[in-house]
Amino acid sequence: HAMRQALNHGHMAVHYQPQVDMATGRIVGAEALARWTHPELGEVPPMEFIAVAERSGQIGRIGEWVIREACRQIATWRRCGLPSLRIAINLSPLQLNQPGLVDTAARIAAEAGVDPGLVLFEVTESIAMEHAERTRLMLREFRAHGFEFAIDDFGTGYSSLAYLQKFQVRQLKVDRFFVQALDEGGPEARAIIAAIIDLAHTLAIEVVAEGVETQLQASVLRTLGCDQLQGYHFSRPVPPEEFERHCRALPMLSPA
Ligand code: C2E
Ligand code: CA
Ligand code: CA
């Protein structure tokens, strides 16, 4: 019930976490992450309220609102002269079953005057692979409208390599579990990430590492040829005004 009110009363917001390009050290994109501040409970973690939204049938409405917010923000940033940024939006498995999602997203982007190529949807590896044929058809439809896709939390599920190729996604996002294991210094995490990067690059897919928290992780990921980094080491997810300040500041990494 509170969630139903939240959108109307402005208790929900979208925060943006920078994605830093390894070659230039500059911010090239952001992941849009939903935030809910309940008047009495305070900040409700997204893992919790997204699950409630799914169970109570509200994920469609919230998901659509996130797409609209993100498109409005892309247009605003363009008007105030920021270089064009690609914004990643998470899709819940239930949204994938929602009839007309592609058309809705296309209409929202068009109304905001946003190039759909600047909007990238994230689906987790396990969801994408669970119904691989359906995913392939859906991604084809989204691509026909110009949208991009990323496979989220990559490396934690079981992937069909044949489908990975057929999906023609733009990015794989290496799960933060592997990134954080780099600190333990053993060879395993490094070897797994190196293999993911090799595989992705062979298929002309970019690799984004998530959950980068330390300088050590960032420098190992650079050595391994990772394309983009995202994590607390650079910035937490922040409100749009703060994100804009990050974009106007010095590069977040020294160029390669
Ligand atoms: P996710 O898609 O894997 O998003 C990345 C999560 O990792 C975010 O958590 C982010 O704040 C966190 N993170 C980023 N950098 C670091 C780091 O360096 N260290 C650590 N430990 N964590 C980091 P958040 O914002 O709490 O979101 C949790 C999950 O909720 C997301 O996981 C996503 O599955 C879901 N979610 C968030 N917003 C939306 C939304 O608009 N729609 C849908 N369907 N799901 C959403
Ligand atoms: Ca994500
Ligand atoms: Ca993720």
Say how many Å lie between the CA of residue 61 and the centre of ligand 1. 19
Radius of gyration of the chain (CA): 18
Q: What digits encode the pLDDT tens for the residues 48-72?
A: 999 999 999 999 999 999 999 999 9
- Which ligand is located closest to the Cα atom of residue 150? 2
Count how many residues are written for the chain.
256
pLDDT at 186 over 80: no
Asked whether 116 and 149 are in contact (CB, 8 A), the reply is no
Paired with 99 in beta bridges are none
Q: How remote is the C-alpha of 162 from its chain's centroid?
A: 23
- Encoded tokens for 179: 């990134």
C-beta 240 within 6 A of ligand 1: no
For ligand 1, atom 25, which residue shows the shortest CA distance? 33
The average confidence (pLDDT) of the chain is 95
Between residues 96 and 149, the one the model is more confident about: 149
Q: How far from each other are the two terminal CA atoms of the chain, in whole angstroms?
A: 50
Say how many Å lie between the CA of residue 124 and the centre of ligand 3. 7
For ligand 1, atom 32, which residue shows the shortest CA distance? 47
CA gap 79, 244 in Å, rounded? 12
Q: Which residue from 3, 66, 69 is spatially nearest to 39, judged by alpha carbons?
A: 3
Q: What digits encode the pLDDT tens for the residues 119-154?
A: 999 999 999 999 999 999 999 999 999 999 999 999
C-beta 45 within 6 A of ligand 1: yes
Say how many Å lie between the CA of residue 202 and the centre of ligand 1. 28
Question: What mean pLDDT comes out for the span 92-98?
Answer: 90
CA gap 254, 256 in Å, rounded? 6
Closest ligand 1 atom to 47 CA: 30
DSSP per-residue letters across 214-256: SHHHHHHHHHTT-SEE-STTT---B-HHHHHHHHHSS-SS---
Closest ligand 1 atom to 66 CA: 41
CA gap 15, 141 in Å, rounded? 28
What residues flank ion ligand 3 with Cβ within 5 A? Answer: 152-153
Q: Which residue from 105, 85, 86, 87 is spatially nearest to 95, judged by alpha carbons?
A: 105
C-beta 50 within 6 A of ligand 1: yes
C-beta 46 within 6 A of ligand 1: yes
Closest ligand 1 atom to 212 CA: 18
- Which ligand is located closest to the Cα atom of residue 122? 2
pLDDT at 256 over 80: no
For ligand 1, atom 44, which residue shows the shortest CA distance? 92
pLDDT for res 92? 95
Q: What digits encode the pLDDT tens for the residues 223-255?
A: 999 999 999 999 999 999 999 999 999 888 887
- Encoded tokens for 63: 């998901």
Contacts of 156 (CB under 8 A, 6+ apart): 125, 126, 175, 177
CA gap 240, 245 in Å, rounded? 9
pLDDT for res 10? 94
Closest ligand 1 atom to 17 CA: 14
For ligand 1, atom 41, which residue shows the shortest CA distance? 34
Residue in the block written with tokens 């992937």: 159
pLDDT for res 1? 87
Q: What digits encode the pLDDT tens for the residues 4-43?
A: 899 999 999 999 999 999 999 999 999 999 999 999 999 9
Question: What mean pLDDT comes out for the span 164-170?
Answer: 96
